[in-house]
Amino acid sequence: MPASSRHGERGAARYDLLDAWRGLAMLWMTVFHFCFDLSHFNYWPQDFRADPFWTVQRTLIVSLFLLCAGLGQAVAWQQGVGWGRFFRRWGRIVGCALLVTAGSYAMFPRSFIYFGVLHGMALMLLVVRLTAGWGRWLWLAGLLAVASPWLAAWALEGPLAGWARYFNGHALNWLGWVSRKPFTEDYVPVFPWIGVMWWGMACGQWLLARRAPWIAGPLPRAAAPLAALGRYSLGYYMLHQPVMIGALMLWGWLGRP
């Protein structure tokens, strides 16, 4: 077995390079969320909703997550991973998404997360899995998906303005075809983000067919901790915020006069 791959659940190979990229996204996200928590508790007030320094970082972090998810699906597709294993993983994502909704409602009842990154990933993974056989058309599908929210916003502010209240409401704003963003702590709608995951799938299929060492090659020793983190990304994702928020709350309590 090459040093770059490991055998995970039911013998399916994992690629350390891909896990390392996922681990990098987790590390970046942790720093971002810690800064957000500092702002929330007024230790370091920042404008996370409007300041480009933060909004651009969020876009890049989510993009890296979804690219890795698409790459992972390309690997699973090549290895012939069946629907049974897919749905076991998918079920855990759905369960965690529901926990995120419940937890965020307890902390932010006016802006709780009802369609954040895990909710979006659960739906997008199904679609990407079903369209894995599209081949080169995945690139075009991704481009159209990424462009569609701007076209939708133009239409809903112009010729289709009468429809805006429907697409901006909770029933449909998970699509991402809105003229105004909803007030929520995390919002990762299907469009444009499924386009990024489609690009990840297309890129993964191309790499595995033509440049396999770029995704399955040896991992630099210094990146081994990132790969370890990436292998347990879902559990880490669910635990990192409660731990950091709890630590900051304890710090505030201990620091009271």
Would you state the pLDDT for residue 109? Answer: 94
CA angle (10 as vertex; 8, 13 as ends), nearest 5: 40
CB atoms inside a 10 Å sphere around CB 190: 21
What does the pLDDT read at residue 2? 37
Q: Alpha carbon of 117 to those of 16, 172, 254: distances in Å?
A: 23, 16, 33
What pLDDT does residue 164 have? 97
- The pLDDT value recorded for residue 11 is 46
pLDDT for residue 256: 61
Q: Is 135 exposed, middle or buried (0-12, 13-18, 19+ CB in 10 A)?
A: exposed
* Cα 132 from Cα 77, distance rounded (Å): 7
Mean pLDDT by 10 residues, the chain (257 residues): 46 81 97 97 95 97 98 95 95 98 94 97 98 96 98 97 96 97 96 98 96 89 94 96 95 79
- CA-CA distances (angstroms) from residue 203 to 87, 127, 194, 213, 229? 23, 17, 14, 13, 23
pLDDT for the residue 12? 56
180, two tokens: 């105004």
As a whole number of angstroms, the distance between CA 78 and CA 72 comes to: 10
pTM over 0.85: yes
Q: What's the CA gap between 127 and 66, in Å, rounded?
A: 13
The pLDDT value recorded for residue 1 is 31
With left for phi above 0 and alpha for psi between -120 and 50, is residue 187 left, alpha or beta?
Answer: beta
Residue 30: predicted pLDDT:
98
